[in-house]
Homo-oligomer: A and B are copies of this chain.
């Protein structure tokens, strides 16, 4: 492949990715159609498949960008190690939970697409995408480590995922108003109550 061809493919790849991200942000996953994407970047529908193996791969690349945005939003407050020791691990977990809620609220359709997208039957989520989730859980794992140093790396890894899932459940059923409408402030304070209770329980656990 000539340098110029490679360059053009990269440009098409980036244009399609940006167009798909805009569509998902504006209308969610259900609004994404190959024909519309192609039209919006001015290529033939079939040309999409020169740069992405399928539409699922394109969606996963959009999701990877959403994960990076989420990581930035969560990671910001742990950047300072000084602050980390100052505010205490339990409060840090609460802050992570509240920041997750903020990110979901401010990026509702992109965030929802992380969970709405399912691979075609029989196809597993690719390894590169699973690996892209790890830094996010790393943030939670480091806080759990400070909270309860006796947890093994394996326990910490599992617990970070379970705690994330629990927080995600509260945020997602809350924002979908599945159990009735809750003001955002109530949702925040519920998150805080639950994470604080969990943290107190984990901190008092003896291995």
* Chain A interface residues toward B at CB < 8 A: 115, 118, 130, 133, 137, 158-159, 161-170, 172-174, 176, 178-180, 186, 190-191, 193-194, 196-202, 204-205
Bound Cα distance from A83 to B174, whole angstroms: 33
Whether the pair A166, B166 counts as a contact (CB closer than 8 A) is yes
A177: nearest chain-B partner, CB-CB: B125
CB-CB under 8 A for A198 and B205, given A166-B167, A179-B133: no
CB-CB under 8 A for A162 and B194, given A133-B179, A169-B172, A172-B169: yes
CB-CB under 8 A for A201 and B190, given A161-B179, A169-B169, A169-B170: no
How far is the CB of A203 from the nearest CB of chain B, in Å? 9
Q: Could you write out 5 A-B pairs with CB less than 8 Å apart?
A: A166-B170, A166-B194, A197-B198, A197-B200, A197-B202
| Sample of 7 further A-B pairs with CB below 8 A, known A161-B190, A165-B170, A197-B202 | A118-B176, A161-B180, A162-B170, A162-B194, A165-B169, A166-B170, A197-B201
Of B130, B158, B173, which is within 8 A of A186 by CB?
B158
Chain B positions within 8 Å of A178 at CB level: 115
A179: nearest chain-B partner, CB-CB: B161
What 5 pairs across the A-B complex have the smallest Cβ distances?
A169-B169, A197-B201, A200-B201, A166-B166, A201-B201
Whether the pair B190, A162 counts as a contact (CB closer than 8 A) is yes
Chain B positions within 8 Å of A137 at CB level: 179
Whether the pair A167, B169 counts as a contact (CB closer than 8 A) is yes
How far is the CB of A32 from the nearest CB of chain B, in Å? 17
Of B130, B179, B198, which is within 8 A of A194 by CB?
B198
A115: nearest chain-B partner, CB-CB: B178
